[in-house]
Structures are given as structure tokens and as C-alpha cells.
Amino acid sequence: MCGFVVFTNQINDANQVIENMMEAIRHRGPDAGGKYVDADIALGHRRLSIIDVSEQGNQPLYSEDGNLVLVFNGEIYNYQQIREELKNLGYHFRTQTDSEVLIYGYQEYGTDLLPKLRGMFAFVIWDKKQKTLFGARDFFGIKPLYYAQMGDTLLFGSEIKAFLQHPAFIKELNTDALEEYLTFQYSAMDETFFRHVYKLQPAHYFIYQDHKLEIKRYWDVAFQPDESPSLEDWVQKISEIFHDSVRAHKIADVEVGSFLSSGVDSSYVAAVADVDKTFTVGFGKDETYNEIGWAKGFSKAIGKKNYSKVIEPEEYWGELKHIQYQMDEPLADPAAIALFFVCQLASKQLKVVLSGEGADEIFGGYNVYSEPNATAYDKLPRGIKRGIGSVAEKLPAHRGVNFFVRKGKDLEERFIGNAYMFTPEERKHLLKIQTNAPDPQELTAHYYNRVPDYDDVTKMQYLDLHMWMAGDILLKADKMSMAHSLELRVPFLDKEVMAVAEQIPVRYRVTREEVTDEHTPYITKYAMRLAAKQDTPQETAKTAAKKKLGFPVPIRVWLKEEKYYTIVKKYFESETSQKFFHTEQLMKLLDDHKDGKADNSRKIWTVFMFLIWYAVYFESESIAFGI
């Protein structure tokens, strides 16, 4: 795993600037650094050595004739097969790295190389003769790739913080992104929180030549349910392809470990991977927020050693600035901080760890996926439901009333992903500034419009695969692991696993046909859970049906304590807060939560994380001494 920076060169001190940019992302690759600079381009790379740990694997890498220059972040799991194909075509390799297949693969296949790859990646290749820059991001967006146009300078890189070191970079807050963030809890737009800085979307590539940037999609998920195989057949297919994916994801010249929570995803990974070490974090002694006891028992059952850590509240709050700095953009997912600590724990033992991200999105694991057609009410005519919902919207908010409001709307109107913090009306009421942010439905429509014929469950999965997973789940996985120079691999997010998952009928993803518990009228990830059960020790088989906690964080409890209430209050009443928000409304959210009138914890946390991020990036607050 690595990090890189690239910029088109119109400056005299390009060598020093690229060094400064590389230093800003040293945490992504502390083992080695390298650069290439000419009159047109500057490329810098920081390396975390995983495959071919010798100096031969250092980057930039060059083609045999010296014309192509590569900087690469990620892993290509099928590189050995591609390497053999290219060798048979006459190409000569000087390293044992997976990186080198990108150079000759691009030379041979051009953009057709991308569908051949199996892995996680972001890379850029400079063609000296053609003066062309080519780059791509992996299928799911596991690895980040940002770009920015600043005057005549184009920048690319693994992290935005590196861009701040370039003299042409103008740091300006994108307030449109702020308004959208208040709804989604993550940066949901292509343009980031920094004006004129964009994310290259997953499964896209770019070509830059003659001052023109062209961006195209090269792959997409295509759910096509196959009703012919039996449930048993699907379980076997899942088992076979997942075992194959885990084998591929374990390729390394260094030790590999595994994260472990109490849910089926990480348990399945740990059991199949047969690694020696698992890692778990939790809070306090209450099992509501602590999975350590369970994880130790599971690890013992599969014959592995579990390393664990109880995170104290002071530690958690003390790292918030550092974490928001590492994120580049604000993220309000409290689990990101727990992930920071489990990465910190694992990094003391090894360089590579496996994790269970992606299983919920591809196999249908979120509880919200059970909502479509869950009740007899769903069978009523659409017009009746919409009429009742319209009336219900005029009534005071209440759990029962909210049911009719929700059911009165089409999926495309009500579902924007796994988080929905502030409604468009609430965020407008809260913000003091005016923005040009689009309605959330304008962002989600881009994806819904591509799959109009999918059933509602599959539409939800498709949206989450493209927005929630890339914007929240994979963002925190990459940034929190790389903050500790740790490579995090996700064997569920493999294109071959996806090829199987997208054929599974929806009734084997979210089922009500196979009721195993009278208190559980549905089972999510049903076929995958059955596959996992085959590899789970009998004494821990309940994992397959267990609702995971996923490193839960007790912010709801903390925000009622005077110490942490006071910290948030300071931020909510600050001059910065007054610049963006109606602070009296923020304080009402905070006070109502503290007094037990409402659970506003997630809304409070969303605003609080933005204010911390802003203080670090725009007010130059130190990240070294906590809050």
C-alpha cells in the first residue's frame, strides 16, 4: 500500500514542491520514497512494502525503454496471471512486484487493461513521448484518487492534504458540500469540501492530454438474478468464490492479520483466512459497546490469538482532531474513530490486515433492506398510501406517524442511503449561509435513473454500493488504516465475488421464507450467512444469525455527560459556528439531547465533526493535543 502525488509542471522549484507533497502523505508509505520530475510533469511516491519488499519495487517504476512512468497505490491480486500473459507476448520484467504489470499491461492493452485487473488500485502513468497522463481508480473505490485544476496546474493524489503544499493550490471551502454533508454525514458530491478539488469516482479512468481532461466509466455492477440454481447451489457458489477471494487477498511477502467484531462478515473472513492474529476494540465493560469477550472466544475456537483494546473516552475524544485531519474531509461516522484505534492496535504487530467491509452492500445485509414489502400495508394501492402519507406529514413527528409518512413515498423519494441526518428543510433552517447545494434526491437520482427496472431491495443495494460504501465505509477504511501505515484488504469487495452476488435472487439476499426465529421475521444476507456457517466452528455457529455491532460507539451516552457536553457546547457557540449556523438551534439540539427529550446524538455529531475538521484545515488548530 502506498500513496502518490502528481502535478503538471510549470514551476521552477518542482523538485522541492513534490518532496513537500510526498512528506504530507509519508504515513501512507514510510518504507521508501521516490520521484520523477521533468519540464512537463512531477510524480512523487511513498511506499509501504508488501510484495517484493526489496528496493527494486520502489516507485516510480519505468518501462524497459524508460518512456512510461508509473505511480501506484493498491494491490493487483491476479498480477501473476497477467504477468505470464505479458511475458508470453515478449515483455521483460525486472521486479517481482504487482505494480509492473500495470506498465506493460497499459502498453499492450491500453484502457482495456482495467477490466482484466482484480484488486484495489489507484494509479497514474505518464507517457513521455505522447505527453499523456492516464490514471484509474478501482471497481468499488477502495483506494482514493483526487484531482484538482488550479489555474494551469492539474494535480492528482491519494490525499487532498498533499495538494495544500503546492504553491498554485487555493484553499477555499465548498459550502455546497457542507450542506449536502449535513444530510448524508459524508462528502456526497463529486466536488469535495475543497472548492475545485474532485474525487475520481470508482470504476473510472482519466486521460489528460493537450490540457484536456477526459473521464470515463469502465465497469459497473449489473444485478441479473438467476432463479435456476437452488438455495443450496447459491450457498456453495458463495463459499467457493469467497474462499478463492480470501486466498488472493492473502498474497503478500509480509504477515497478514484480520479484524474481528461479533458479526458474520469479519468472522467469516477470519475463519476462512486462517491468519494467526485477530484484532478487536470496544468501550467499557457493557456488551452493548464491547465485543471483546465474544471476539476472544471466537478466536480461541478457531485456534487464533486475539489482540484487544478497551478504548477509554478520553482517548477517543483526544484523537478527534487527528482523525478529521487524516480524513481530508469531515466524516460524521462515529465508527471511524473506533476503526482508527483497531488499526493502531494491529499496526503494532503487522503491515496487512483483512476486514469485512462490503458484505452488507453486495449480499443485502442492512436491516433497512427488509422494509420493501415487509407488511400488509405495503400491498395497498400506491395512491392510497401516498394520500395517507400526505396527511401524516402534517402531524407531529412520532414513530407511528413516521411509518405512514415513509410508506407514502416511493423508494426514490425516501431512501438516500444508510444515513439520513438532516432533511433539506432542517439543514436550510440550521444554516446561516446560502449555498447552491442540490436537493439530496438530485444526487441519488443519478444512480436510481440507471436501474429503473430493479426491485426496491436491489435499488437500495445499488445506491449504497455507489454512494454510502465509497463515501463512508471505504473512506474511513482507507484513511484510518493508512494513518497507521497499515494495508487494509477487503475480500468481499472483489469483482469475482460481485459477479456471483449480483446473480443471487433477492429472496436469498433478504428472506422471509426461511424463518428461524419468531422474533426475526426476516434474515438479511441469508445465502451468505449459510455459506459462512459452513466455515464457522460449531460452538460459535450463532455468529451466522447474530446482529453485529461493528465496533459501536457510545456517543449517545457521552453527550449527556457534563464533560463532553461542555466540549461540544464550546464548539457550537464558537465564532466559527456562528459564521455557518444558527447557533441557538445547535444548542437546542444539544440541550434536548442532554435532558433526554430526544436522541439527537447523530445530528450533533455531524455538526461537531465539521467544526473540528474546519478548525484543523482552515484555522490551523494543532492536532497534537486533543480537543
- What's the 3-state SS for 143-208? CCCEEEEECCEEEEECCHHHHHHCCCCCCCECHHHHHHHHHHCCCCCCECCECCEEECCCCEEEEE
145 closest CA partner among 170, 129, 125, 115: 125
Q: Tell me if 21 sits within 8 A of 157, measured CB to CB.
A: yes
**Residue 95 zone, left/alpha/beta (φ > 0; ψ -120 to 50; rest):** beta
Q: How far apart are the first and last CA of the chain?
A: 30
Q: What residue type is 444 in one-letter code?
A: T
Rg (CA), the chain: 24
What would you measure as the largest C-alpha separation in the chain, in angstroms? Answer: 73
- Compute the distance between CA of residue 311 and CA of residue 294 in angstroms, rounded to an integer: 16
Q: Tell me if 113 sits within 8 A of 101, measured CB to CB.
A: no
Sole residue written with cell 439543514:
427
- Compute the distance between CA of residue 139 and CA of residue 141 in angstroms, rounded to an integer: 6
Residues in CB range of 454: below 8 A, 6 or more apart: 223, 462
- Compute the distance between CA of residue 434 and CA of residue 428 in angstroms, rounded to an integer: 8
Q: Tell me if 621 sits within 8 A of 336, measured CB to CB.
A: no
What 3-state class would DSSP assign to 504?
coil
Burial 18-41, CB ≥16 within 10 A → b, else e: bbbbbebbebbbebbbbbbbeeeb
Grid coordinates belonging to 319: 484523537
Q: Which residues, in sequence order, are bridge partners of residue 76?
A: 119
Phi, psi (rounded to 5 degrees) for 99: -60, -40
- Compute the distance between CA of residue 288 and CA of residue 293 in angstroms, rounded to an integer: 12
232 closest CA partner among 474, 504, 462, 1: 504
Residues in CB range of 259: below 8 A, 6 or more apart: 266, 269, 270, 278, 279, 280, 342, 346, 353, 354, 355, 356
- Compute the distance between CA of residue 593 and CA of residue 591 in angstroms, rounded to an integer: 5
282 closest CA partner among 307, 257, 299: 307
Q: Tell me if 290 sits within 8 A of 310, measured CB to CB.
A: yes
Grid coordinates belonging to 184: 448524508
Catalytic residue among 2, 467, 504, 527: 2
Q: Which residues, in sequence order, are bridge partners of residue 191?
A: 198
Active site residue 343: no
- Compute the distance between CA of residue 109 and CA of residue 103 in angstroms, rounded to an integer: 10
291 closest CA partner among 242, 335, 349, 348: 335
Q: What one-character DSSP code corresponds to residue 291?
A: -
Sole residue written with cell 452493548:
288
Helix segments in 440-561, DSSP class H: 440-448, 456-466, 468, 474-482, 495-501, 526-534, 555-558
Write out the catalytic residue numbers.
Answer: 2
